[in-house]
Structure 1
Amino acid sequence: SRHTAVTVTSAISVLVGASLGDLAGGDASRFWALASCTALIVGALAFIAWLAKAGVIVNFISESVLVGFKCGIALFIASTQLPKLFGFKGSHGDFWERSGYFFSHLRETNEASLLLGLCALAVLLLGKRFLKNKPVALFVVIAGILAAASMDLGKLGVKLLGEVPQGMPPFGLPAIHASDLNDLLPLALACFLLGAVESAAIGRMFAVKHGYRFDANQELLGIAGANVMAGLGHGFPVSGGMSQSLVNESGGARTPLSGFIAALLMLLIVLFVSGALRYLPQPVLAAVVLMAVTGLFKVTALKHFWRADREEFVVAIAALLGVLSSGLLRGVLIGAIISLVQLLRRASRPHVAFLGRIPGTRRFSDRARHPDNELIHGVLIFRPESGLVYFNVDNVCDSILSRVRAEPTPPKLVVLDLSAAPRVDLQSAHALGGMADELTAKGIQFQAVEPRSSVRDRLRNEGVDGKLGGVNRFTSVADAIKHFQKNADQRR
């Protein structure tokens, strides 16, 4: 992705911290060795996934899931930053716990912090309105540092970023025991899944917004390289960060070169000027993050889902609530699973069109959409509008047979138009043969027409083509009706 910032994320940080605390036994050096080894394992898993082209799994993240994810992450990030804006310490936990803590502790608001944060927000809003694509956030951060250093805002109760370690960590493999790998593998797998899903969701969001193609598989290679370097540099697992990516985009970034420049600047800061960052006021930093996430909450998209497709709205809300209640990874997975279940439910009940002849032509279309289409006396024509597979063929056959039974006068011919069915599997081929037998037993002819070449091959190989009137690539719906009417005239 051109806009995704690969960095340390709060979700992975919490996951690593909670998982390695007991394993490290209070030894800080062992903790960082285990964390960096976890990053190396995550890099290896991502590289294997790239080789296996496993990026396709993110295709199950639909647009509705993505909208819900963005809305949920906007609210979650806001719940983490609002206490900093108001000048008091926030809580841990999910969105509801953080929000409850925030509202119950508003009396602890520091007026100087709130005033500083609101001023920063005002400047950012004005910059967004009048100075688009300009690094206004950088100006706000520098101004905040200068104000804190010159006015000694710390004495007014404004919390500052604090000391930032100076210098580079050693580069190389972490010193751990071989037995630690078994303990680290589940953690690394969780970090990989979280990073892959979150990075894919972020990447797709920016790709849609800016109109370029997103390659989920290539993203895995980027995650692999970033985590290997993080592990060798004694860091811990990294992935695409939502708030960092939003700040990156809002600052005018257009290509991955922004990440390279940011890395160089970070290197210079760590080596030479990290001490200045201790004066960065937390309310200013919170204002920058809050401003970045304002564009995530897409009320218009939710309204559109509500009007256009209630099922998509349910998926979006499920993803939103999942993020708020269970975290980023589970929120996306909950939405994706519900979306997949709905997809399977729709696929299991495909529309079976009841066709009529378009007046004055030899063409046929759905009478439900075109009631003026002509009925053919003694003939019922159906067209399943999907492939026929084991989990939907019974519903298709039931729909056809129910319509046949509902006719006041039993039809003489049932025509099945297979032109819209790209695939017929083994079970479906035999189910069609069984339906043909049932109709034949009632004295009703059955004719399948316009099957695709692969469908013809399947029906012939399974030995059911004879039951379906003999399938070929020449007979159309109009031909089948003409042949039926000709035979009926001859019998008279």
Structure 2
Amino acid sequence: MSSTPSMRLSQQEHFHLEDSGQIERSLWVLEPPNPPPLRNKLFTPLKKSISSFSSNNKPCHRRLLSFLETLFPILCWFKSYTASKFKNDLLAGLTLASLSIPQSIGYANLAKLDPQYGLYTSVVPPLIYAVMGSSREIAIGPVAVVSLLLSSLVPKVVDPAADPDAYRSVVFTVTLFAGIFQAAFGIFRLGFLVDFLSHAALVGFMAGAAIVIGLQQLKGLLGITHFTNKTDVISVLESVYKSLRQQITSTEKWYPLNFVIGCSFLIFLLIARFVGRRNKKLFWLPAIAPLVSVLLSTLIVYLSKADQNGVNIVRHVKGGLNPSSVHKLQFHGPNVGQTAKIGLISAVIALTEAIAVGRSFASIKGYHLDGNKEMLAMGCMNIAGSLSSCYVATGSFSRTAVNFSAGCQTSVSNIVMAVTVFLCLEFFTRLLYYTPMAILASIILSALPGLIDINEACYIWKVDKFDFLACIGAFFGVLFVSVETGLLVAVSISFAKILIQSIRPGIEVLGRVPRTEAFCDVSQYPMATSTPGILVIRISSGSLCFANANFIRERILKWVMEEENELAKGRVNAVILDMGNLMNVDTSGILVLEELHKRLFSRGVQLAMVNPRWLVIYKLKVANFVDKIGKKWVFLTVAEAVDACLSSKFPEP
């Protein structure tokens, strides 16, 4: 049956409307808004920080109040603070202090500082964080990893044994630099810099650091007087062997009573930790066990006069309010650059640990933790700490877990803890005179199992072998070389992973999934069918740049030749590039696209583009590449591009 003129006219109108719609959709792609200028990219983070503190739509006093509430979150939640919340925070703060006091003394010893400096660090930084931090559970103070970091890096600048005053000055200056870097990260929204130390690298680094810290405690646990300043496992074990051999064979005696006291209380601490984990209602037992150990061991040494029989004791602990350390900061001399570098490393490690801990417990409580605000709070507290005889403080996982289990409601628990530590400094430091050094070693050793997460390492191995390589690289780097080498290895492997993914991006051949308009990777979806004479390729990379452009060109040309070598399919008439995943292109990428177009055109193959992002199409238009391939060969969807290629007549090459 022949069609009537009216039917033919309606079909023509239909095709005309369809062509008009396709042209209109192509214009959507070809006429995007202009990308923002370079100055906007550079200053947008700062503008966002400023705009988060103010709004032009509000009166002046409301803008000031909004700024203060953003800077000091305590002003927001303190309005609804109740007596019942304070009761919970008071109990949590006192429980936290019972764990913090002995740990702070031990970590100060690990950082090669006098005991009072660990207590100082548990007073000022927690108070600053309580008014500026957004986490309700995180407990602030000295931690093992940062203490080890300082004890391994700062002695390369100043020897703590030869000049302890200069050593302390460098530590305070490192703390100031760490605070400045942390605050800058928060103000300029540079939190992504912390992410260069990936989760897998952090797991390996923490595990290696835990073993190194444990080996460092053999000095106090065994009562060794001569010990190496190096942190690698071989040097530490060699030092232990030589010291024990020298003390046993020479006239200088070795006193095993240090080992007996240390191991006895270490067993007690580990049992308390085990019981507390098995029974959540007894969370307070592992929290107060370190303080009980300190009190009991001090009493035993005092009554038995064990210090006269070779037991090493803490001796004098300076009490009172944190003294000013402003005059000790050093900004001149040849070591300022090295001090700043140590400050940067300490800042990144401290932030990584604190944000990881804070976000873990925030997710349990069901609220969001702003990483940039946390960085600003951490930076301000360390800047204030550097001026008041504190060293780098951050969030502690073990103490935060105790704070959470004790039922803390807000950061007031940090204030209670800081006040309690201050009272200890003011009135009870004399009681610490006979505290054995072996107990401090035992307290640190009992906290180390929480840093070694074997289950997480196994999980990383199952999920991503490359991530596991970063994990194990950081672990062995810390363990057998040094802390900074472990960090360098971890960051290098993470960078290598990013580079490999950039240089060798995913390039996929697409086919149409039956009974749909979707085009998917034929290797993932075997049922997807390719269109004869048309090669559809998706570039699965965020950027077409100097690093990967040549690889992409060669891969596309190789596929074209392979496709043409299969005689059953005939020659390739068109290559369609799905650029929906491509976020950016540089000059090298544009040159490669031009060369690809020339090579394909010489073979009689038409190049088409689908859905390039606005920045990509803007650059391609400026470079006149769109004019070279023709505006009609730019499409919104792959289906439209395939249909256009099928309806076109291509000349023979």
Q: TM-score range by the shorter chain?
A: 0.7 to 0.9
Q: Which residue of 2 aligns with 1:239?
A: 393
Q: CA deviation at 1:374?
A: 1.4
Match of 1:185 among 325, 330, 336: 336
Q: Which residue of 1 aligns with 2:346?
A: 195
Matching of residues 10-29 of structure 1 within 5 Å? 10-21=148-159, 26=163
Distance, in Å, in 1 between the alignment partners of 2:441 and 2:315 is 15
Q: CA deviation at 1:29?
A: 5.7
Letter in 2 for 1:363: A
Q: CA deviation at 1:469?
A: 4.3
SS in 1 for 2:273: helix
Distance, in Å, in 2 between the alignment partners of 1:159 and 1:132 is 36
Distance, in Å, in 1 between the alignment partners of 2:264 and 2:644 is 85
* Larger Rg over CA atoms: 2
Match of 1:163 among 316, 323, 327: 316
Residue 173 and residue 249 in structure 1: after superposition, are their counterparts in 2 closer, same or farther (change >3 A)? closer
The alignment covers a number of residue pairs equal to 483
Contact 1:11 1:328 in 2 (8 A): yes
Identity of aligned residues (%): 23
- TM-score under structure 1 normalisation? 0.85
Q: Which residue of 2 aligns with 1:120?
A: 269
Distance, in Å, in 1 between the alignment partners of 2:281 and 2:602 is 74
Work out whether 1:365 is the aligned partner of 2:502: no
Q: Can you list the C-alpha shifts for 1:149-190, whole angstroms capped at 9, x where unaligned? A: 4433662755443331233464363168x9x61335224303
Contact 1:137 1:288 in 2 (8 A): no
Q: Which residue of 2 aligns with 1:262?
A: 417
Match of 1:93 among 230, 255, 267: 230
Q: CA deviation at 1:342?
A: 1.4
Distance, in Å, in 2 between the alignment partners of 1:476 and 1:67 is 43
Letter in 2 for 1:361: T
Which range moved further: 149-158 or 444-453?
149-158
Residue 473 and residue 327 in structure 1: after superposition, are their counterparts in 2 closer, same or farther (change >3 A)? same
Gapped regions of structure 1 (runs ≥ 5): none
Q: Which residue of 1 aligns with 2:476?
A: 321
Q: Which residue of 1 aligns with 2:557?
A: 401
Residue 215 and residue 88 in structure 1: after superposition, are their counterparts in 2 closer, same or farther (change >3 A)? farther
Matching of residues 266-281 of structure 1 within 5 Å? 266-281=421-436
Contact 1:124 1:137 in 2 (8 A): yes
Contact 2:183 2:379 in 1 (8 A): yes
Work out whether 1:248 is the aligned partner of 2:399: yes
Q: Which residue of 2 aligns with 1:417?
A: 578
Contact 1:322 1:334 in 2 (8 A): yes
Q: Can you list the C-alpha shifts for 1:371-418, whole angstroms capped at 9, x where unaligned? A: 222121222111111232221121111111011111224312222222
Q: Which residue of 2 aligns with 1:392?
A: 548
Letter in 2 for 1:115: S
Contact 2:550 2:592 in 1 (8 A): yes
Contact 2:223 2:311 in 1 (8 A): yes
Distance, in Å, in 2 between the alignment partners of 1:215 and 1:331 is 28
Contact 1:87 1:114 in 2 (8 A): no
Letter in 1 for 2:291: I
Residue 451 and residue 399 in structure 1: after superposition, are their counterparts in 2 closer, same or farther (change >3 A)? same
Which range moved further: 395-404 or 274-283?
274-283
Q: CA deviation at 1:356?
A: 1.3
Which range moved further: 435-444 or 360-369?
360-369
Letter in 1 for 2:346: G
Distance, in Å, in 1 between the alignment partners of 2:607 and 2:165 is 77
- TM-score under structure 2 normalisation? 0.66
Distance, in Å, in 2 between the alignment partners of 1:175 and 1:249 is 31
Q: Which residue of 2 aligns with 1:63?
A: 199
Q: Which residue of 2 aligns with 1:452?
A: 613
Letter in 1 for 2:294: I
Letter in 2 for 1:249: T
Contact 1:43 1:226 in 2 (8 A): yes
Gapped regions of structure 2 (runs ≥ 5): 1-134, 249-253
Which range moved further: 141-150 or 55-64?
141-150
